[in-house]
Structure 1
Amino acid sequence: MEWKYVIPGIPDNFFERDEEIPMTKEEIRALALSKLRIRKGDMILDIGCGTGSVTVEASLLVGSTGKVYGVDKEEKAINLTRRNAEKFGVLNNIVLIKGEAPEILFTINEKFDRIFIGGGSEKIKEIISASWEIIKKGGRVVIDAILLETVNNAISAMENIGFMNLEITEVIIAKGMKTKVGTAMMTRNPIFIISGEKQ
């Protein structure tokens, strides 16, 4: 499938899905990718790649001169990300690694321009600490979180480690759903998008 547009936000239904594998939804994905401020040729790391929606869109943004690494502890997620990357024709500049963060991050012999941390790992502090070690100076980290505890732990860890220009944005998305009598707005869980830079 070809995505002909230069902005992120591929509709969720364009991706192959598995209900057991998490996915960063299109509106949140578009905001998270904008917070990453991806450039052509960047090296990107997607920690907890899940369905591969962020991995695929980041790959489209970095182009053929960039590279996106997707990491997930679940084999099913790695396989699903691979299928979605193939579907969008970007598998050639994606590297998929099965393993659990933060431990697996130290086995990757690369430095990254941008790191996306999806989901709500209980090891968020350790993942942020590992990210500091593998991100280039001037690099950006963006974290999606649902739980307030994850937000608190992430902000605390980023401040303590030395990330600068921290931002936190709460996003509440409502999508229209047809009913018998009209359209009702169905609200999704609030998502927090946290970003910071290594200067």
Structure 2
Amino acid sequence: MRVPGIPDEEFIREEKIPMTKEEIRVLALSKARLFYGAKFLDVGSGTGSVSVEAGLIVGEKGKVYAVERDPQAVELTRKNVEKFSLRNVEIIEGEAPEVLNKINDELDSAFIGGTERLEEIIPVVSEKIRRGGMIVLDAILIESAVKALHTLSELGYKAEVIEVIVAKGMKTSKGYAMISRNPIFIIYGEKK
């Protein structure tokens, strides 16, 4: 098992494809309560950074499903999975929640990185999560965080939210300046 925290620079990137940044990945995967042998779902895999980190944590006995609708992002996820030599990540191309029926495993946790159609996606993901399993989402918009909290609560989850504001040091000619990134909401809940 490996602890999350792969530097962003180690991932293959493309400008228009979103990536969950290192510090947010670490917190989100912590809230997902991953363990060796776990089965994990990443909806909206983007670059594949969450899928890769999860794949390393769950190990060869575990399984990661990376769902992505954008063909360019699917290819980028594939490249990053190959770069990190992971054989436990299955990439599913298509629109969630429709393609989630391709997953027959009971899941230990899931991460939802996209914020469209949350009210449709969360219930379908919830059906696949075992009792005691976790659903974790991230969002930039307050409205998306509220939708996620409301939907999880309606499904009987004990839903919680944290707001994370990260500033990274940037070297200047006179020293280091802290450059803030966008605040991110991490919403999570345990299935009862």
- TM-score, length-normalised on structure 1? 0.93
Q: Distance in 1 between matches of 2:63 and 2:5?
A: 19
Q: Choose the corresponding residue for 2:125, options 108, 117, 131.
A: 131
CA distance in 2, matches of 1:84, 1:76: 12
Aligned counterparts of 1:157 and 1:167: Cα–Cα separation in 2 = 12
1:173 has 2:169 as partner: no
Q: Hey, what does 2:21 align to over in structure 1?
A: 25
CA shift at 1:180, angstroms? 2.5
Choose the corresponding residue for 1:100, options 95, 98, 114.
Answer: 95
Q: What do the CA deviations read for 1:124-174 (whole angstroms, capped 9, x no partner)?
A: 11111111111111110000111000001000111111112x221100000
Partner SS state of residue 78, structure 2? helix
Counterpart mapping for 1:155-166 below 5 A = 155-164=149-158, 166=159
What letter is aligned with 1:125?
E
Secondary structure of 1:141's counterpart equals: strand
Alignment gaps of 5+ in structure 1: none
2:161 is aligned with 1:197:
no
Give the gaps of 5 or more residues in structure 2.
none
**1:174 & 1:10 partners in 2: Cα distance?**
17
Secondary structure of residue in 1 paired with 2:66: strand
Mapped to 2, the partners of 1:71 and 1:113 lie a distance apart of 16
TM-score in terms of structure 2 length: 0.96
Moved segments of 4+, more than 6 Å: none
Alignment length (residue pairs) = 192
Paired residue secondary structure (1:41): coil
Q: Which amino acid aligns with 1:198?
A: K
2:110 is the counterpart of 1:115: yes
Determine helix, strand or coil for the equivalent of 1:144: strand
Task: Report Cα offsets for 1:3-60 as digits up to 9, x if no partner.
Answer: xx83111000000000111000000000101111101111100000000010001000
Contact 2:48–2:81 (CA under 8 A) maintained in structure 1? yes
RMSD: 1.2
1:163–1:196 CA contact under 8 A, matched in 2? yes
Task: Kindly provide the amino acid, as one letter, of the partner of residue 82 in structure 1.
Answer: R
